[in-house]
Amino acid sequence: MRTTRLGVCVSVWVLGALFAGCGDDTGTPPATCSSANCDGCCDSTGKCNTGTTTSKCGASGGACKACSVGQSCTNGTCSTTNPTCDAATCPTGCCQNGQCMLGTEATACGKGGGTCQICGSGQACTNQSCVTAPCDATSCPTGCCMSNVCLPGTNSAACGTGGVACADCGSGKQCSPQKQCVAFQCGSATCGTGCCNAQGQCMAGTASAACGQGGAACVDCGSGKQCNATNRTCEAFQCNATTCPNGCCDKTGACVAGNADGACGKGGAACATCGSGQACQSQSCQNVTTTCNATTCPSGCCDKTGTCVPGNADAACGTAGAACKTCGSGQACASAKCVCNASSCPGCCSGDTCKAGSEDAACGKAGAACQACSSPSKCLSGSCQVDCSFLTCTGCCDSSKVCHDPPNATNCGLFGNACSACSSGATCSTAKGNCNNSATCSSSTCSSGCCKNGTCQTGNQDAACGQSGGVCETCGTPGAPHLYCGVDPFYGTRECLATNNSQWDVMLDSVEVKSGVDWDDFVEGGDAPEIYVKLTVGTVSKQSPAAKEGYTATYNNAYLMTAKASDLGTKIHFELWDSDTFGDDEIAKCDDVIYPAELKDGVLTLTACGGQPSNTNFLSITFRLKVKSAQ
C-alpha cells in the first residue's frame, strides 16, 4: 500500500493505452479445474464452484458432491445436522445450523451449547469468546504493528516485519524491500525525473533554487535566471505577461503572486505599491472603506470590497454586517448561513459539513443527517445494510456476507473478493489479499510472475496479478469489477489498477503549509491563514469550506466531488488560499495526477507540486478516495 507520494511538477499527457488491461476478460473457465486454480469444488463441466451449497459441496479443487437430505455443507464437507443441539448435547462447544461445533474458530465461536458467533473484523476466537486479536508475530508475520493494526511494513512512515512495532524511518531514510530503514540513495534509479539536493533528497527539479533531472545534483539558477519546467535547465528569466500571467513583476524582475499591498498586480505588469487607505484586492489596489458594518448593513454582509450585499448567495453569505463567507462544496446559503442540506449535498450532512455518504462512520444520502453503521451492517447506497461487496468492504467477504478487514489466514482476501482459508504452512498477505507458502514459491523460484497458494503464476491475469515473486493480487470480476490487472504508468509495477470508467468519491482530509509565515498583516487577524482548497478535475471545480486559522487545516474527509479514474489519472489541479476579509491570499497552485494504482489504497498524501506561485509554502495535502461504482 502506498499512502504518501513525493509529487513532481507534471507535464500531463495521456497515452491511448494508459490504462490498457492485461487480464483475461473473456469469462472462459480454465480448461482443467483443480486445486491449483479452485479453492472450492469442480463440477462435471470443469467449472470451479464456491463449494458451500448442498447441491455442490467441496473444497481444495475436489469433485463437487450433493449432500443428502438432512445434511448441510460446512467447510466443504456434507454433515448431518443435529436439530437437538443444546447445552445438554454440546456442553463444550456451540451450535451452528443444528450442529455442535468446537467453538474455537472465528467463524464459529462459543461454548455451553449456545449459538455460535462469527467474530468481527480484527477479532479472534480466544477461550471460545470473540476478543480483539493482538497484533504480534503470529497475526502479522510479514508486516509491522501500529496501534494494534497490522500494516504491510513497506512504507517509510511504517516500516518493519515479523509483527514488531512499526518504525518511522524519518528524514533521509527509506524502507527497503527487506522492510528495514536504510539510508535513502538519491540517484537516477530513485529520482529519474528530478534532481538530488545537498541533503540527498529527491526534488521535483523545476524550482529555480533546485533545478535538474535524471537524478543529477540540483542546480541553483541564481539571480536573473529561472528553471525551465520542461527541460529542467537554468535559463535567463524575463518577467512579462507570458512568464508571469498570474502575478506581477517586482523591482528585481522576479514574478510574484501580486496579492500583497507592497507588490500588487497581475498579467505580468510591474507591481504597484498600494497607498494609505488602500489594500490589494483581486490583485489591484482599491480603497478600503469601513462604512460596511452591523449598523450600515444589518440584514446583509460585507463583501471583500467593503460593499454591503444581501448575504443570501452561496458566494456571499452572511448577515449583521459580518464579512461575507463563500459556501464550500456541499453547502448552500440558507437564512444567511452556510449550511448542509438536501439541495446542496448529494451525500449526508455532519453538522454543516457534507460527507460522501458512503462511509460506514458517515452514511446517508439526499442531505439527511449522517448515520454510523453498526457491524455487521455496512453503508451501501446511502443506507446501513447487511452487505459485503467491493462497495462496502476493503477486506474480503465470507460465505455469510461478513466483511473481514483486515484479512487473516482463515479469511484471506481484499477489495471485496470472496474470502479463502490458507492451507497448512501458508500465510495470508494482508497487503495483497492472497495465501502463499514462501517455502514453495518466492522471488527465487518465481522471478517474473507472482505467488498464490505456493504456486508460481504468470502474474498477468486478473485472478493472479503481480510480479517479482511477490504474493498475487486478485482483481476483476466477479469480486472486484472496479479493478483490473495492468502495469501502472508511473510506478511501472504490475498490479491491480482502477478501471478507466470506475467512479470515485474524492474527499479532503487535511492540508499543511509552512509555519511562521505572516499571511494576515493587514487588519486580518492572526498570522496563520484560514485555508481553503479549490479542486478541479476535468471540467468540474469544487471548493472546500475555509478551515479554522492555523498552518495545519483539518477537514475530516469533507466531500468534494465524484470523478472517473480516467480523469483523476489525467490531471488534477488544486489551489490553496487564505480566506481574508479584504482579498484572499493565494498560497499555492498545483498540478498533479492520481495514478490508477493509488486509488485502491483509499488515501493519498501529495507533498510537492509545481505551478505559480512556487510551492515554497506548501507542505502536504491528503485526499481520501472511495470507490462509488465500477462504471
Domain boundaries, the chain: 94-132, 144-183, 248-287, 326-386, 388-496, 503-629
Q: Cell 468446537 maps to which residue?
A: 102
The answer to which of 115-124, 373-382, 486-495, 563-572 has the lowest mean pLDDT is: 115-124
Q: Is 398 helix (H, G, I), strand (E, B) or coil?
A: coil
Q: What is the pLDDT at residue 83?
A: 55
Q: Would you state the pLDDT for residue 629?
A: 93
Q: According to the model, what pLDDT value does residue 25 have? A: 33
Give Cα separations from 410 to 77, 117, 428, 589 (angstroms): 16, 15, 8, 48
CATH class, domain 503-629, is mainly beta
- Alpha-carbon distance 315 to 518, whole Å? 26
Q: Please determine, for residue 11, whether its predicted confidence score (pLDDT) is greater than 50.
A: no
pLDDT tens for 514-554 read 887 777 655 455 678 899 999 999 999 999 999 988 999 99
Alpha carbons 149 and 151: distance in angstroms, whole number: 6
Q: Which of 59-73, 386-400, 458-472, 493-507 has the lowest mean pLDDT?
A: 59-73
pLDDT higher than 80, residue 278: no
> By CB neighbour count within 10 A (0-12 exposed, 13-18 middle, 19+ buried), where does 122 fall?
middle
Q: What is the pLDDT of residue 27?
A: 37
555 vs 238 pLDDT, higher one:
555
If we measure between CA atoms, which residue out of 116, 179, 181 comes closest to residue 153?
Answer: 179
Average pLDDT over residues 135-150: 87
Tell me, what DSSP letter sits at residue 567? H
Model confidence at 15, in pLDDT bands (50, 70, 90)? very low
Q: Cis before residue 376, ω within 30 degrees of 0?
A: yes
Q: Which residues touch 89 (CB under 8 Å, ≥6 apart)?
A: 82, 100, 113
User: By percentage, how much of the chain surpasses pLDDT 90?
Assistant: 47
Can you name the residues that pair with 519 across neighbouring β-strands? Answer: none
Q: Is the pLDDT of residue 41 over 90?
A: yes
Rounded to 5 degrees, φ, ψ at 283 are 65, 30
Q: Are 236 and 224 in contact (CB under 8 A)?
A: yes
The SS3 assignment for 596 reads helix
- Which residues contact residue 75 at a Cβ distance below 8 angstroms, ignoring those fewer than 6 apart? 59
List, for residues 197-231, the tens digit of each pLDDT value.
877 778 888 887 889 999 899 998 876 777 887 88
Residue 624 · residue 557 · CB < 8 Å: yes
304 Cα distance to chain centroid: 36
- Give 295-343 pLDDT, tens digit per residue: 889 999 988 778 889 999 999 999 998 989 999 999 999 999 999 999 9
Confidence of residue 3 (pLDDT cuts 50, 70, 90): low
For the cut 70, the answer to whether the pLDDT of residue 10 exceeds it is no
Q: Which residue has the higher pLDDT, 254 or 605?
A: 605
Q: Are 500 and 484 in contact (CB under 8 A)?
A: no
